[in-house]
Structure 1
Amino acid sequence: MTRFTPQELEAARDRVIPDVVAGGLSVLFCGINPGLMSAATGHHFARPGNRFWPALELSGFTPRLLKPAEQEELLTYGLGITNVVARATARADELSNEEFREGGRLLSERVERLRPRWLAVVGITAYRTAFGEKRAVVGPQERTIGETRIWALPNPSGLNAGWTLPAMAEEFARLREAAGVPDLGAPPGRSPGRVTGDPPR
């Protein structure tokens, strides 16, 4: 993995990285905003310790653990990635509520254009702020965008100590089943959607 100096990471601040999207996806995952490591590499969820990619594998969305640099492979599984706010910051708390609300408006326009079956917002606080749903909890939401349903997922950041990786993967698996996406990682003897243990190292 490429190592960046603090100066190189800081130079990536406010950078925008391309979405991984196509029309008619089964699930469009939506991060909060790119971190500096993602902005420096051009790859979503690139910070070491982020559990997004392991959760995808453990939940059966992908047949193996993808590296952030392999993000375009998601499209072959009917999956994509975008963000609520496009600009990169070191921490999500550097974003204002106004940026989140504007991000929610732009995200809605994007979803109306791309028409995924599900929008999965990865971070319940970001979802609440962007869409004004202060009491929303993790799981499927009543709100829709056109025909697209919404699922709020836990933030996969390593800083989110309230969710273990197995628990997070269980929630991802609930979404996968609701979206009708086949379990690509189920070995013989494991029921689809049943997640146990930690990913292989």
Structure 2
Amino acid sequence: MPDLIAPGLRILFCGINPSVYSAVVGYHFARPGNRFWPALQASGFTGRLLAPSEQEELLTLGYGITNVVDRATVSADVLTAEELAEGGRRLEAKVRRYRPQCLAVLGIGAWRTAFGHPKASLGPQPESLGGARVWVLPNPSGLNAHYRPEDLARLFLELRLAVDTSRP
């Protein structure tokens, strides 16, 4: 699954890993039921609901998408701790190279495991990664029933407002 990335982004959104469906169709967060695109629109990142096939429009807004682990799976819970840690090392190198202002990791468990922060919570993190500020959001997968769409919208909005107020 190719990254949607460019130097100097405002926010680089980072999923755990692509779904098999996303890998087949070639678009991030493409699986029906994934709540990433609705959360972006509901929180004001985008002015309208984008389809996964319109993902390139994010770059013009200063946003990109990558994943901690490249391997596509039916569910992220089959990833090993070793895969997540190795993916974390690759992600840090990517962040150093592309220098986004903020890295938004979409999955608290992935952040905890990949970067060795077992007590981390959602929201801004005390540490940076590769020079970027880090913010952790819930995994927007429809398989993650812990968060309702309105919860995701509120949490995504907190990130948007924090990044907007920190702009030079």
TM-score of the pair, normalised by structure 2: 0.96
Question: Which of 52, 59, 62 matches 1:75?
Answer: 59
Residue 64 of structure 1: aligned partner = 48
**Residue 165 (structure 1) aligned to one of 116, 126, 149:** 149
Question: Aligned equivalents of 2:5 and 2:29: distance in 1?
Answer: 15
Residue 111 (structure 1) aligned with residue 119 (structure 2): no
**Contact 2:15/2:66 (8 A) holds in 1:** yes
Q: Please point out which of 161, 164, 167 is paired with 1:180.
A: 164
Match of residue 138 from structure 2: 154
Larger Rg: 1
Secondary structure (helix, strand or coil) at the match of 2:125 reads strand
Q: Tell me, which stretches of 5 or more residues in structure 2 are unaligned?
A: none
The answer to which structure has the higher helix fraction is: 2
SS in 2 for 1:63: coil
Read off the aligned partner of 1:114 and give its amino acid letter: Y
Deviation at 1:146, TM superposition (A): 3.8
The separation in 2 between residues aligned to 1:101 and 1:143, in whole angstroms, is: 17
Equivalent residue for 2:38?
54
Deviation of 1:109 (Å): 0.3
Q: Return the offset for 1:43.
A: 0.3
Deviations 1:104-156 (A, max 9, x none): 00000000011001000001001101100000011000110243100000010
Do the aligned partners of 2:95 and 2:131 also contact (CA within 8 Å) in 1? no
Aligned length: 165
Gaps of 5+ in 1: 1-16, 182-201
Compute the RMSD of aligned alpha carbons.
0.9
1:24-75 CA distance string (max 9 Å, x none): 0000000000001100001000110000000000000000000001111100
Structure 2 CA distance for partners of 1:27 and 1:174, relative to 1, 3 Å = same
Question: Paired residue for 2:125?
Answer: 141
Deviation at 1:86, TM superposition (A): 0.6
Q: Which runs of 4+ in 1 moved over 4 A?
A: none
Q: Could you give the per-residue CA deviations for residues 135-185 of structure 1, whole angstroms, max 9, x where no partner exists?
A: 00110001102431000000101121111111111110110011117xxxx
Indicate the larger mover: 120-129 or 155-164: 155-164
Q: 1:31 aligns with which of 7, 15, 25?
A: 15
- The one-letter code matched in structure 1 to 2:24 is A
Aligned-residue sequence identity (percent) comes to 60
